[in-house]
Amino acid sequence: MMEFEKAEIAKPNPKSTINSYRSFGYNLSTAIADIIDNSISANANEIRLEYKWNGQDSFISISDNGIGMSREELVLAMTPGSKDPEEQRSEKDLGRFGMGLKTASFSQCKRLTCVTKKDDFATIKRCWDIDFINKENEWQLLDYISDKTFVDIINSQKSGTLILWEKLDRIIGNAETRNESVKNAFYQEMVNVKRHLSLVFHKFIESKRIKIFFHNAEIEAYNPFLLNLNPKPEMGQPEIFDNVEIIYFILPHMSEIGKTDYENSGGSLGWFQEQGFYIYRGDRLLVAGDWLGLEKKRDYSKLARISINFTNANDFNWNLDIKKSTATPPIEIRRELSRIAKIAIMKSAKIYNWRGQKTFSETSNSNYDPLWLDEKTRDGIKKYKINRKHPIIKSLLDENNKLIGKALKLLEDNVPIELILSNQNEDPAFHEMEKQTDKPSDELINLAVELYKINVSQGIPNELARQQIMSAVPFCLYPLINEYL
């Protein structure tokens, strides 16, 4: 057995250490979500977020009606690294490292005050002030609060805790009250916070475990699987591996839900960016819309979203970080995730590419005759060609008009791909909201009848003539046409 000879005790420098806590990579939304985690762990069912713009005297507060803390518990909570990350936690405990309160707060402000009250105990408070620590170079907690109104809030409750952020230097800087640009940026950040909380805690809000009030207005849940849509998304059977639940959801095509629902259900980043895996830890969202390196984001997979939910007992297997904003699936489960992702993507592609019934690769095994074919040149470039075997095109070419062949080649060489892509990037709704009507137009019916008559006049049997037409796009999309032939 090795023997260790003790040397000096190396105490971390308070000034440098507490300032290093400010660089963990939080943004305002993830920092506030981390504070709310503590409220949920304290059995709160009501959480209130308040804020006020007043230049350098602006503040943000998060209060709850949880069980509160005694003086010993409060001091422990304010102490960095106060919990052993390896100790067993309650399933409801959303914390892990005992760092969230401090690191999240210091990432946004230089003064953190905590006011708390346990049932049948007096209201108490403690404050960390970075300017004071930098001056004294001591880990000195303060029994201080800038405004006793915040104490009164908790004092009026049976129990609860209030977190107060002041000296918001990372958000406000040295801006004066009359600085409209910083003021507007501050308010916009708070809008982003509201949106973030509605997503991250949507399962808690939907199940009525908590209510989150944003300036007294209750936050509504944003469910990324859009279960409120009509028609509803397709939901796969839950699969469980190593106590991890995985469920895929396939959203309906955008054209099926209407413009308003399309705009309201794309989330803050839009349908393309929000495809992929959604990783939850104890119903709390960690990662949103990421294929985790298993797949790439593509247009045809944008309807696929997959829920992964694990408990806090799996934290180390998933490499959970302090901010609870990244998690990496263990190797043994990645194969299952990849398999489920491929199933979801195939289902998404089948729905999203209903236009694909109008365009097939030449290697397709489809029984339909498309209007367009795609092929690769020797240089690996995709080219789009009009299908010469399509009944209408074939009928035109049979007339032996040389101009028709040249006109088709001219169309193929000038497919407006750049314009289509530009419109798609500018506003996907241009294309995604295109509806496939159930009933064919009179013009399409008349065209089918005319083509049928031409085929029959050329000696093609009636049933074969009908089959040739009804196996071609766009006639095949409308079975009703068959009744006119």
Q: Are strands 46-52 and 59-64 parallel, antiparallel or unpaired?
A: antiparallel
User: Domain of 417?
Assistant: 362-484
Q: What is the pLDDT of residue 96?
A: 43
Q: Is residue 3 part of a domain?
A: no
Q: Is residue 295 part of a domain?
A: yes
298-343 pLDDT, tens per residue?
A: 888 999 999 999 987 776 677 766 666 677 888 889 999 999 999 9
Distance of CA 378 to the CA centre of its chain: 39
302 and 181 within one domain = no
Please give the helix or strand (H or E) that residue 120 lies within, else none: none
377 and 324 within one domain = no
> Is pLDDT larger for residue 421 or for residue 358?
421
300 and 175 within one domain = no
255 and 164 within one domain = no
110 and 75 within one domain = yes
Q: Which of 331, 352, 373 is the last residue of a domain?
A: 352
Q: Is residue 85 part of a domain?
A: yes
250 and 139 within one domain = no
Rank 29-33, 440-444, 461-465 by mean pLDDT and report only the highest: 29-33
146 and 44 within one domain = yes
57 and 108 within one domain = yes
In total, how many domains does the chain have? 3
Type of residue at 448: A
77 and 148 within one domain = yes
Q: Which of 170, 189, 218 is the last residue of a domain?
A: 218
Does pTM surpass 0.85?
no
Contact 438, 354 (CB under 8 A): no
> Is pLDDT larger for residue 375 or for residue 41?
41
Distance in angstroms (rounded) separating the CA atoms of residues 254 and 269: 15
Range in 18-22, 142-146, 167-171, 268-272 with the lowest mean pLDDT: 268-272
425 and 305 within one domain = no
CATH number of the domain where residue 282 is located: 3.30.230
Looking at residue 350, the DSSP 8-state letter turns out to be H
Range in 46-50, 205-209, 392-396 with the lowest mean pLDDT: 392-396
Q: Is residue 5 part of a domain?
A: no
Distance in angstroms (rounded) separating the CA atoms of residues 397 and 288: 52
Q: Which of 333, 352, 371 is the last residue of a domain?
A: 352
Q: Is residue 408 part of a domain?
A: yes
80 and 29 within one domain = yes
Please give the helix or strand (H or E) that residue 358 lies within, else none: none
235-283 pLDDT, tens per residue?
A: 999 999 888 999 999 998 877 777 777 777 765 567 888 999 999 999 9
Q: Is residue 227 part of a domain?
A: no
CA-wise closest residue to 64 among 46, 49, 50: 46
136 and 32 within one domain = yes
The β-bridge partners of 382 are 376
Q: Are strands 211-214 and 46-52 parallel, antiparallel or unpaired?
A: parallel
Sheet holding 59-64, edge to edge: 124-129, 111-117, 160-166, 59-64, 46-52, 211-214, 217-218
Q: Is residue 1 part of a domain?
A: no
Q: What is the pLDDT of residue 376?
A: 81
Q: At what angle do helices 442-457 and 462-470 cross, to 10 degrees?
A: 140
CATH number of the domain where residue 62 is located: 3.30.565.10
Distance in angstroms (rounded) separating the CA atoms of residues 146 and 137: 22
Q: What is the pLDDT of residue 97?
A: 42
